[in-house]
Structure 1
Amino acid sequence: MTINLIADALVASLLVATIITCYILAKRIERLKADEAGMRQTVGALVTATDNAERAIAGLKNTLGDCDRTLEERLRTAERYAADLAAQVEAGQAVMERIGQIVSAAALVAKPVAEAQPPAP
């Protein structure tokens, strides 16, 4: 009978140890489930942030394309203005050369006329 009593006590103590271990494991599982819910929220927020970032990147690409087209148009306009300005500068230089020739010719004509006139008394 003492062996039965010792065996029953041993089985009871093992049952208590099993119950305590099950309780500890149940608490750990609850914490893991709570962490899982937190992780799901974090993953959901990350997915939302990723979607927002993708939309922002698409918007930036559109804006960059618009800026590129605008810059290209302005560059073409500036090149046209530069060509027009170069043509006008060239025409101005031609006019200045002609004025220089006229002044030189007038100076040559004025010298003989001045030499031919007697000084005023």
Structure 2
Amino acid sequence: MSHLLGIVIESLVAALLLLTIGYCMLLNTRLKRLKADEHSLKATIAELITATEIAERAIGGLKHTVRDVNENLGSQLTAATQMSANLKQQLAECDGVIHRLTRIAIAARPASGPAPVAEPKVSAAKAVAAAAQAFSERRRADGLAA
């Protein structure tokens, strides 16, 4: 009986060793797959890092471009505002010149011609006085009579 008990124990140990070997082989294949996944994961992480660096550089470039455009538009807006004010002033002066020229033309018309619609007939003395007054009202621009 003692030999039989020894054989049973030895065969039980052999069976357990076979199960252990089979389980180790299964773990080995799983570890190989895990290693392969680790390498692909490292490659994916490296690609993500590269893409992130490229995006950061692009964002930096965009910020620089936005700052330049903002400065450029600010200066152009200031110049446009000044030009608009200048044009407005010149238009106002032109209106004044046209008004004065109209008054001079009305005053210079001969008394025998048709009467202007806007004003009644004016005597020669009044026409000369109106022309002199219009002439005296003109501004001087750059030292010359406008």
TM over 0.5, shorter chain: yes
> Is 1:100 aligned with 2:99?
no
Q: Which amino acid is the alignment partner of residue 98 of structure 2?
A: M
Aligned match of 1:117: none
Larger relative contact order (CA 8 Å, sep ≥ 6):
2
- Percent sequence identity over aligned pairs: 39
Distance 1:89 1:27 in 2: 89
Distance 1:99 1:8 in 2: 131
> Is 1:73 aligned with 2:70?
no
> Is 1:30 aligned with 2:39?
no
| Stretches of structure 2 lacking an aligned partner (at least 5 in a row) | 116-146
Deviations 1:22-47 (A, max 9, x none): 11101111111111111111111111
Aligned match of 2:64: 62
RMSD of aligned residue pairs (Cα, Å): 1.8
Deviations 1:41-82 (A, max 9, x none): 111111111111111111111111111111111111111110
The list of structure 1 runs, each at least 4 consecutive aligned residues, that deviate by more than 3 angstroms after superposition, is none
Distance 2:57 2:90 in 1: 49
3-state DSSP class of the match of 1:110? coil
Distance 2:56 2:107 in 1: 76
Distance 1:44 1:75 in 2: 46
Aligned match of 1:18: 20
Distance 2:25 2:40 in 1: 23
> Is 1:110 aligned with 2:122?
no
For 1:83-94, list aligned pairs within 5 A: 83-94=85-96
Higher helix share: 1
Aligned match of 1:119: none
Distance 1:4 1:104 in 2: 143
Normalising to structure 2: TM-score of the pair? Answer: 0.70
